[in-house]
Every structure is written in C-alpha cells, then in structure tokens.
Amino acid sequence: MKKRGNNFLKEVTNHIKSKEAKKFVATELAFHLKKAKNTWIEKGLSEVDAEDKAVQQMGSPIKIGQELNKLHRPRVDWMIIILLVTVMGLGFLPIVSLGDAGFMDVNHFLKNKVIFVILGVATAFGMMMIDYRKLERLGWLFYIIGVLTLSMISYFPNTTINGEPLIKIGPITIECLMAVPFFFLAWASFFNNSRLKVWHLGILYLFSFYLFLTIPNLSTTFIYIMMVFVMLWWSKLGKKKALMITGVPICLSIIGGLFFWSSVKEYQLARILGFLKPGNYADGPGYMYLRLKELMSSAGWFGTTGNIEFIQAAHTDFVFASLTYYYGYLFAIILVMILSFFVARMMVISHKINGPYGKLLLVGGMTLYVVQFIYNVGMILGLFPITSISLPFISYGLMPTLFNAFLIGIVLSVYRRKDLISRSII
C-alpha cells in the first residue's frame, strides 16, 4: 500500500473510537483497496494512478469513518446489567431474613456476601471487556485446564464436604464446578472447528465425562452433560451427526442404569424411593421432601407470620423455599420472572448474532444458567430429586456467584461486539 492509500486508511480510522474496530476496519478496507487497485492495473493504469483511482472510488474518508464509527460502536446491554444488579441485590434477602428470625449472626455472612458480589460484578465486567473472538483459538488450552482441574480434585484432594473431594488453599476452595467454564469455552471452540471428526469429539467428551464421575458430583456432572449436548445440537455438525453422537451416550446410560439398578445398595434405593414416595420414608430420605412441601404450603401470598420455623440450608440450596416462606408466593413469582428475564434477553441476543462461535457461547451459557434455575426451583417444588444445585445469583457462595457472573460476562462480551461485521458487508 502506497502513501495515498495509507493516508486514506489513517484518516478513516481517526474517526473510529473503538480500538478493536480500528484494526478490523483498517484490515478490511486495505483488502478492498488492494482489490480495486489491481482491477485498475488490469485496465492499463500505472500503479500510482491505479491507487489514486481506488482511493477515489472508495469515497470520502471522513464520511466513511463517521459511518463505520456508528456501526462499530461498542454496545452495552443495559437490560442485562440492570437485571444483574437487581438479582445481586436480592441475593442479600435470605441472609437478612435469617438474621431477623434469629437463626444466624448476619454480620459475617453479609460481609462475605458483599465481597462475593463485588468479585462477581468485577468478573462480569472483566469478561465483557475481553474480545470473546480471541478465545476461539484457545479451545485446547481451556480443555487441558479443565482436565487438570478435575484431575487435581480427584487424585489430590485435601478435604471433603458431603463426601465430595475438594482442594482447599487458605480461603480458596477448588471444586469441580470451577472446571465447567473452561470446558464451556473449549466445546464452543471444538464444535466450531470443522477439522475435528466425530470420533475426536466423542473421545474428548467421554474422557471429560469420566473425570467428572471420578469426583463424583452428580449435580455438576448433570449440568455439564446438558451443556455439551445442547451446544452439540446448535453446532454446525448437522442433525445426523448430532443424533449419532447423542444416541451413543443414551444407550450407554441405559446399560449403565440397568447395571446400577441390579447392584443398587439399600441406602441408594431408599433415596430413590424417598423421592418417589416421601410419605413412606418420612423418618429418612423422604423427610426433606415433606418438609419443603409443608413450608411452601404454609407460606401464603405475603409470607408466614407468627412463629417462624428454621429451614435447613435456607441461604444456599433451599434459598427459593426460604424466600417463599418468608416473603410469600407473590415475591416468589416476581423472583422467577426476574430470573426468567435473563433467559428471554439471551434468546433475543442470540437471534442478533450471526457468528457461529458467538452463538454457541450464548447457547451454552444460556443452558448452564437455565439448568441451574429450573432444577433448583423444580427441586423445591418436588419435581426433581434434591441435590446441590444453586439458584443463580440468589444462593450464598463464592463459586456459584463467580460462575454465573462469568456466564453473564460472556453474554455481554458477545453483545458488545455484535456490530463488528464481516468482509462481505463492508
């Protein structure tokens, strides 16, 4: 590119404020200038005259720069941010309620919750500022980090909580949920990589699935499985390959289920029957199902008045039950609607994204969020077996807060760059 062309590109990019867009636009315009220049050279013009003609053909650099600046201006989804701030604020209510009822000293929990919220907001905004498109090249790195995380937890744990192996380093607890974001980014890259064969994807999935089972944490494993297969059906592999890949694990699961049922132990069978027929196991596995049903039925539209009863795990796994019990059905409906707005907004954004990688990130992030949301609420209503799955942004805990903030940050990052258009449109 000669001096005339370089000056043209410089003048155009001077009117573009976004640093990401400057480089993108300069590269794309240089491509079109070169193409136009070669066309004029083929018509018999000298190189200098051909470049002048090409620049003249492009039009006014000031007007082009101003129009591209409007087009490439980074976008901020204020709807998602308002929802994020709202649910972060609502996450304090369970702690306040338990304090008012005299069941806990809230100062310690409130201080921790403030720290969790600050770190969560920082995570969301940090991910928003990262160009998500640069993450596509790092799929293998993310997969390896996820594998190493699960391997360390499985083979080198230094503590356990409820039978689940963990690694605790000072105030930091490394659990298997920490591996899911890395696998999430890895699968978005793999499903958008046409060089990977079906059997490659099968091996990668089965190996990671095996590592999740070695921990074991059934709730996190379930979330991971749902994420992978929803992303699979939205990938560019095609329905036939997706059906083939889906069919094999389903068949293996059926065989594994039959084997498990034939060798099921008495306490495992009691847990299953406790969910199916809680009344027959009221003194054992069915107790919590009956307890949750009792709490939900006594809540009323505006909460319980008079003698307030203690609720186990009221600020963590059973937070939806405690909020319904303390504040009533009306509040529970409003809370469900607010959490559902996240899903609706993500669906709207996904229809505005043309890039397959960005769309896969949105679909995968939405799946991780929806599975937690629906399962936690369904668990409280007695629709699903009780397990350790948090209600996004409402349940107390550092890892659940950071995990969901990371997902929202990815959504904000994709939305922020949705107007960076392709070469064919410029």
- 354: helix, strand or coil: coil
Residue found under tokens 């409130």 = 110
Measured at the CA of 386, the angle between CA 383 and CA 392, to 5 degrees, comes to 85
This prediction has a pTM of: 0.84
HSE-up of residue 224 (Cα within 13 Å, Cβ side): 28
Mind listing the pLDDT tens digit for each residue in 149-158? 999 888 877 7
Q: Would you report the helix, strand and coil content of the chain in percent, each value rounded to 5? A: 70, 5, 25
Mind listing the pLDDT tens digit for each residue in 224-233? 999 998 998 8
- Whole-number pLDDT of residue 295: 85
- Whole-number pLDDT of residue 341: 94
Q: What is the DSSP string of 297-358?
A: HT--TT---SSPPP-TTTTTTTHHHHHHHHH-HHHHHHHHHHHHHHHHHHHHHHTT---HHH
CB burial readout 53-71, b (16+ within 10 A) else e: bbbeebeebeebbeebbee
H helix or E strand, kind and range, residue 166: strand 164-169
Closest by Cα among 417, 412, 420 to 125:
412
**CB distance 405 to 87 below 8 Å:** no
HSE-up of residue 101 (Cα within 13 Å, Cβ side): 23
Residues near 353 by Cβ (< 8 Å), separated by ≥ 6? 359, 362, 414, 418
CB burial readout 298-308, b (16+ within 10 A) else e: ebeeebbeeeb
Sheet holding 164-169, edge to edge: 159-161, 164-169, 172-174
What's the CA gap between 227 and 209, in Å, rounded? 12
- Whole-number pLDDT of residue 424: 36
**CB distance 165 to 215 below 8 Å:** yes
What's the CA gap between 36 and 176, in Å, rounded? 54
Q: What are the distances in angstroms from CA 240 to CA 175, 236, 243?
A: 36, 11, 5
What's the CA gap between 12 and 64, in Å, rounded? 6
What's the CA gap between 281 and 275, in Å, rounded? 9
Q: Which residues pair with 173 in a beta bridge?
A: 168
- Whole-number pLDDT of residue 199: 82
Q: Which amino acid is at 234?
A: W
Mean pLDDT, residues 132-136 taken together: 89
Burial class (CB in 10 A: 0-12, 13-18, 19+), 283: exposed
Q: Which residues pair with 159 in a beta bridge?
A: 166
Mind listing the pLDDT tens digit for each residue in 26-64? 777 777 777 877 777 777 777 777 777 777 777 777 777
8-state DSSP, 100 = H
Of 258 and 304, the structure prediction assigns the larger pLDDT to: 304
**CB distance 54 to 60 below 8 Å:** no
Q: Which residues pair with 167 in a beta bridge?
A: 174
Per domain, the residue ranges of the chain are 3-71, 78-416
Residue found under tokens 């397990």 = 387
Residue 142 has pLDDT above 90, yes or no: yes
Mind listing the pLDDT tens digit for each residue in 172-211? 777 888 999 999 999 999 998 888 888 888 889 889 988 9
